[in-house]
């Protein structure tokens, strides 16, 4: 009795078990209930004598354990068990039998009984232990079943491919995602070797995985269905079971493509910044060279001197044109965007396109009716078209067809090479030599050229202009077939509004007598510009930085009609000068000059009409015209 | 008073194992008395049913009631009663009645003997008869 009491205490610490005793022998029933009487706090026992009663109770009550005699008044042998089983999915079944029938015992245990006890072979202690163990085993089995169901659900529904292989990489189990990756039905994949699908073999990776016990690697596989190559990221764990290895595969083909695009984009951005910075410094130098050349030309005493000055000016113009392209690539060119009909822009430059293409090539220009309008700088777009046309000509040394096509384009998610939206598509296609993928990937880099003597700025300029206009540019090329450049510009509106006609250039008189405060830290440029303006008749106050400019302005008693100021200067910068002048001399006009584009001006906190900005390098002719225009409009 | 196990030892025979029974009921005399009382009520009916099954040639009933009696005898550790009831059960299962009458008489003898020693056991608190 002491042992029993001890067992009761143990049982009190565990769950109260709800037990159903199915027994038609009243002596057995009395014995069992008597044996279980001790641990009343641990067990709650219901007794029925017939199977029908048991089934009825099981439909209403959840029992933890069923003590089942197989031979009842209304059922006998294995049938009793098989009828109880489906109605007691969560209960542990202990078969109690008067027959020491090994075959029956094994059968019932195999089918789901937790134990098979022969009457007369157990005492109370053994029975209690059997009940408790049966319950715990059933709980464990249930937990395991649920765990397996969870794992199975994850396995089946995972978007990643999950493969279990044996030692040589043969697939023993695979989910549908994995089968889909290799382009096979799951049943076909099971039994196949992973190595079969790897494009460049897996021996080294596999050896490394096996040695390390786990690892990760990226490799290409070939899809059986269509032969497509897919890049997979494989996470490997060896011996998740003896001789069984887990490979989780993720298709990262699209991800890698996006990463590559991002890297390329970042690279272009960085190169663009660099190019813009170089162009700025170069523009200042060109301004000085050009300025003095103009002065030389103006003050030349003979034809020889004038011609030499002209040559210098021509050279600076060419150099300025190059830096302009660099600025365009770096998206630092000043834009004058307006609503444009691309077909009209193309029409404007078509004669040049025909000339560029040459007599051996055919030019086809086509535009759809009702082409949408875009917001862009006409001059820049013309430059893009001419650059692409020149590129096409170079790709067709023996002639071919250059096609310019314009159409409205709607991009939907994942169905186009550009983000979703409405665009006007300008395509420039040639039937030339084409490019291999390596060249194609670098084609928009500045200074990258496959042409002898090419400066490598044409396509990079086109790239910069398109990006600055909020558009996208893409290239498709095939060796021996040709190349197509697609430019997508956001469609702003349908062509209800025609782009305004260009204003006629007003002739201006460059001469004047007003006082101008000229501020620039580049001594040579300041001096040359000052000399030119004085030659035009202006009274020029010169300052080498913002601080000096403010002092001069404060001490000058007369009216200062115009302040011409550089932006980036030591001590007080252009913004300081402009702010001071607006406070102290609000009647003075302002003209800001800079080697940077308007975005740099805005970064320095100076907000001006675009007419009050002049980008370096400029000719003194342009400076003179700008000054006259500002002063005349102001007065 | 002698220790019960010592007295049970005297009742031990090839037909009956009182110590095993005592252990099975966890030394609970009240439970044993209940069980013996129930058996006293049950066994005459079971013997009658087995005899009738033999006389009527009902193999199913022979198997069923022999099995039931065997089960009870098992719980009481009545070894010989279990063996004979098991033999009759098997005869029912194999549709054979050969020597069934003799076996039944033997079963009756063993059950009556079992009943006698069981009564002796539950009379432990009084001097054994």
Contact indicator for A103, A97 with CB cutoff of 8 Å: no
Provide long-range contacts, Cβ within 8 A and 24+ apart, for A205-210.
A205/A234, A206/A169, A209/A236, A209/A238, A209/A245, A210/A167, A210/A238, A210/A245
- Is the CB of residue A122 less than 8 Å away from at least one CB of chain B? yes
C-alpha R_g of chain A: 44
- Our measurement of the distance from residue A483's CA atom to the centroid of its chain's CA atoms, rounded to an integer in Å, reads 26
Enumerate residues 55 to 114 of chain A having a beta carbon within 8 A of any beta carbon in chain B.
71, 76, 98-99
Rounded to a whole number, what is the distance in Å from the CA of A50 to chain B's nearest CA? 14
pLDDT tops 70 at residue A462? yes
pLDDT of residue A289 exceeding 50, the answer is yes
Band of pLDDT at residue A502, cut at 50, 70 and 90: very low
Residues of A in contact with B27 (CB under 8 A): 1
Asked if the Cβ–Cβ distance from B72 to A124 is below 8 Å, we say: no
* Segment of A354-363, A415-424, B20-29, B58-67 carrying the highest mean pLDDT: B58-67
What are A551-556's contacts with CB under 8 Å, separation 24+?
A552/A517, A553/A517, A553/A580, A553/A581, A553/A584, A553/A585, A554/A584, A556/A515, A556/A517
- Closest-CA residue of chain B to A32: B25
Residue of B24, B62, B67 best to disrupt the A interface, most CBs of A under 10 A? B24
| Chain B contact present for A126, CB below 8 A | no
Alpha-carbon distance of A174 to A178, in angstroms, equals 6
Q: pLDDT averaged over chain A?
A: 84
Check residues B94 and A2 and name the one with the higher pLDDT.
Answer: B94
Predicted confidence (pLDDT) at residue A80 exceeds the cutoff of 70: yes
Give per-residue pLDDT as tens, A515-556: 999 999 888 889 889 988 998 899 999 999 999 999 999 999
**Residues 6 or more apart from A482 whose CB is under 8 A from it?**
A395, A400, A429, A430, A431, A432, A433, A434
A35 and B25 within 8 Å at the Cβ level: the answer is yes
> Which tens digit of pLDDT belongs to each residue from A427-437?
999 999 888 88
Edge to edge, the sheet with strand A43-48 lists: A43-48, A17-22, A65-69, A92-97, A115-118
- Of B23, B34, B74, nearest to A30 by CB-CB distance is B34
Contact A31 B42 (CB under 8 A): no
- What integer pLDDT is reported at residue A7 of this predicted model? 42
Inter-chain touch A25–B74, beta carbons under 8 Å: no
The contact set of B with A (CB < 8 A) is 23-28, 31, 34-35, 38-39, 42, 64, 67-68, 70-72, 74-75, 77, 82
What single-letter DSSP state applies at residue A198? B
Handedness of CA A502, A503, A509, A515 (dihedral sign): negative
pLDDT, tens only, A178-231: 999 999 999 999 999 989 898 887 888 888 888 889 999 999 999 888 888 899
Q: Over the stretch A315-363, which tens digit does the pLDDT of each residue have? A: 888 788 777 766 666 655 556 678 888 898 888 777 778 877 877 888 8
Q: Say if the Cβ atoms of A1 and B74 lie within 8 Å.
A: no
User: CB–CB of A25 and B23 under 8 A?
Assistant: no
Residue A134 Cα, gap to closest chain B Cα (Å): 20
Domains in chain B: ranges and CATH: 9-122 (1.20.120.160)
- Using a CB–CB cutoff of 8 Å, tell me whether A1 touches chain B: yes
CB contact under 8 A, A35 and B38: no
> Could you tell me the pLDDT band of residue A305, with boundaries at 50, 70 and 90?
confident
Output the pLDDT for position A128. Answer: 86
Read off the pLDDT band of A559 (50, 70, 90): very high
CB-based contact (8 Å) between A31 and chain B? yes
Q: CA torsion A104→A109→A113→A118, rounded to 10°?
A: 50
A72-81, A89-98, A248-257, A509-518: range with lowest mean pLDDT: A509-518
Whole-number percent of chain A with pLDDT over 70 = 89
Does residue A236 belong to the interface with chain B, where contact is any CB pair within 8 Å?
Answer: no
Report the predicted TM-score, pTM, of the whole model to 2 decimal places: 0.51
Instruction: Kindly list the distances between the CA atom of residue A238 and the CA atoms of A208, A214, A242, A318, A469, in Å, as whole numbers in the listed order.
Output: 11, 6, 9, 66, 54
């Amino acid at each position: 009795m002491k042992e029993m009491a001890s067992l009761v205490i143990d049982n009190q610490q565990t769950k109260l078990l709800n037990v159903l005793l199915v027994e038609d022998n009243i002596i057995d029933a009395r014995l069992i209930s008597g044996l279980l009487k001790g641990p009343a706090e641990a067990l709650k026992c219901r007794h029925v004598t017939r199977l029908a009663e048991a089934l009825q109770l099981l439909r209403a009550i959840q029992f933890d354990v069923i003590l089942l005699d197989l031979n009842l008044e209304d059922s006998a042998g294995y049938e009793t068990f098989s009828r109880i089983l489906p109605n007691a999915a969560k209960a542990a079944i202990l078969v109690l039998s008067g027959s020491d029938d090994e075959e029956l015992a094994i059968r019932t245990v195999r089918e789901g009984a937790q134990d098979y006890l022969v009457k007369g072979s157990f005492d109370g202690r053994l029975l209690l232990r059997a009940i408790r163990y049966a319950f715990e085993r059933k709980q464990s089995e249930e937990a395991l079943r649920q765990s397996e169901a969870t794992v199975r659900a994850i396995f089946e529904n995972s978007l990643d491919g999950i493969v279990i292989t044996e030692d040589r990489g043969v697939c023993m189990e695979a989910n549908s995602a994995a089968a889909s990756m290799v382009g096979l039905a799951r049943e076909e994949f099971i039994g196949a070797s992973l190595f079969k699908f790897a494009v460049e073999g897996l021996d080294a990776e596999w050896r490394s995985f096996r040695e390390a016990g786990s690892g990760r690697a990226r490799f290409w596989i070939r899809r059986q269905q269509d032969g497509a190559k897919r890049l997979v990221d494989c996470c490997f764990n060896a011996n998740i079971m003896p001789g069984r290895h887990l490979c989780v595969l993720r298709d990262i083909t699209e991800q890698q493509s996006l990463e590559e695009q991002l890297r390329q984009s970042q690279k272009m951005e960085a190169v663009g910044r660099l190019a813009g910075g170089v162009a700025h410094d170069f523009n200042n130098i060109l301004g000085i060279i050009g300025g003095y050349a103009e002065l030389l030309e103006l003050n030349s005493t003979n034809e020889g001197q004038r011609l030499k000055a002209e040559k210098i000016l021509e050279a600076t113009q060419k150099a300025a044109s190059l830096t302009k392209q660099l600025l365009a690539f770096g998206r630092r060119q000043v834009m004058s965007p307006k609503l444009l009909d691309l077909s009209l822009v193309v029409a404007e430059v078509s004669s040049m396109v025909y000339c560029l293409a040459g007599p051996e090539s055919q030019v086809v220009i086509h535009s759809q009716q009702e082409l949408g309008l875009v917001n862009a700088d006409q001059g820049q777009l013309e430059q893009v078209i001419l650059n692409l046309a020149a590129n096409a000509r170079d790709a067709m040394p023996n002639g071919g067809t250059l096609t310019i096509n314009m159409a409205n384009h709607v991009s939907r998610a994942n169905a186009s090479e550009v983000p979703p939206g409405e665009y006007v598509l300008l395509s420039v296609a040639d039937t030339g030599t084409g490019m291999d993928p390596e060249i194609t990937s670098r084609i928009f880099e500045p200074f990258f050229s496959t042409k002898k003597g090419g400066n490598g700025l044409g396509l990079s300029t086109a790239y910069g202009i398109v990006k600055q206009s909020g558009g996208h540019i893409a290239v498709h090329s095939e060796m021996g077939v040709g190349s197509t450049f697609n430019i997508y510009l956001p469609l702003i509106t349908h062509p209800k509004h025609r782009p305004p006609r260009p204003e006629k250039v007003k002739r201006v008189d460059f001469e004047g007598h007003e006082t101008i405060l000229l501020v620039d830290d580049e001594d040579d440029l300041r001096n040359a510009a000052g000399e030119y303006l004085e030659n035009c008749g202006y009274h020029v106050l010169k300052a080498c930085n913002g601080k000096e400019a403010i002092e001069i302005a404060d001490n000058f008693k007369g009216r200062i009609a115009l302040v011409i100021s550089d932006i980036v200067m030591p001590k007080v910068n252009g913004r300081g000068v402009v702010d001071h002048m607006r406070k102290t001399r609000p009647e003075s006009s302002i003209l800001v000059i800079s080697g940077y584009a308007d975005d740099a001006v805005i970064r320095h906190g100076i907000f001006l009409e675009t007419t009050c900005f002049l980008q370096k390098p400029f000719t003194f002719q342009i400076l003179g015209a700008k000054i006259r225009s500002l002063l005349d409009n102001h007065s | 008073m002698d220790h019960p196990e010592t007295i049970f030892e005297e009742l031990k025979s090839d037909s009956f194992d009182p110590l095993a029974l005592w252990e099975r009921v966890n030394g609970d005399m009240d439970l044993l008395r209940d069980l013996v009382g129930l058996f006293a009520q049950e066994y005459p009916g079971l013997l009658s049913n087995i005899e009738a099954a033999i006389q009527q040639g009902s193999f199913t009933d022979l198997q069923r009631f022999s099995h039931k009696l065997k089960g009870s005898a098992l719980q009481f550790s009545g070894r010989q009663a279990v063996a004979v009831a098991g033999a009759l059960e098997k005869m029912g299962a194999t549709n054979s009645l050969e020597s069934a009458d003799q076996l039944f008489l033997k079963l009756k003898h063993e059950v009556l003997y079992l009943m006698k020693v069981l009564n002796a056991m539950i009379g432990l608190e009084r001097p054994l008869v």
